[in-house]
Homo-oligomer: A and B are copies of this chain.
Amino acid sequence: MRLTFKPSLDPAAYRYVHHLRTRFAETDAMGIIHHGNYPAYLEEARAAMLRDAGFPYEEVRAGEDGIDFAVLELYVRHRRPLRFDDLVAVHVVVADLTRTTFQVGYLLTVADETRATAVTVHGAVDARGRPARMPSFLGALLGAGA
């Protein structure tokens, strides 16, 4: 288990916030958002953070070094359920960058109320799925920012 980052419950500890609205298609027969949708929410927030920082994921993928950020580990803690039509703030921060991996921490809130926290661990891989050099721009995304 490479996962080491402890996601804070304080939004100020995150660099970026992405807003999304839950879909009815994402609900389940318990009347809540099914937990299987959270990885896609986290990924959407990561992509938005990269785009906002000037590194659109499609350019990173299509670039000379054509890399993907493989998901090595995923951890989600559900504190209170999300429901249909919730406007979710996904707070995001990059952390624990090593030569071969980096971690991303997440705090999901609705109307400033905590719903979930999460961490993903990523490695850089080339177009054939082999480990690749970590792009230097990740260093610029570390920490809670200005």
Hey, which bits of chain A sit against chain B, CB under 8 A?
1, 3, 21, 23-32, 34-40, 43-44, 47, 51, 56-58, 68, 70-78, 81, 84-85, 129
Q: Which residue of B lies closest to A75 (CB)?
A: B75
Of B25, B77, B129, which is within 8 A of A39 by CB? B25
Q: How far is the CB of A112 from chain B (nearest CB, A)?
A: 20
Copies of this chain present in the complex amount to: 4
Pairs across A and B, CB under 8 Å, 5 listed: A23-B43, A23-B44, A29-B31, A29-B84, A73-B75
Is B70 in contact with A85, judged by CB distance below 8 angstroms?
A: no
Cβ contacts under 8 Å, A74 to chain B: 35, 38, 74-76, 78
Q: Which residue of B lies closest to A28 (CB)?
A: B27
Give the CA-CA distance A73 to B119 in the complex, in Å: 12
Q: Which residue of B lies closest to A37 (CB)?
A: B36
Is A25 in contact with B24, judged by CB distance below 8 angstroms?
A: no
Cβ contacts under 8 Å, A39 to chain B: 25, 35-36, 38-39
Q: Enumerate the 9 nearest inter-chain pairs by beta-carbon distance, A residue then B residue, closest first.
A: A27-B29, A36-B39, A25-B40, A35-B71, A25-B36, A74-B76, A36-B40, A29-B31, A75-B75
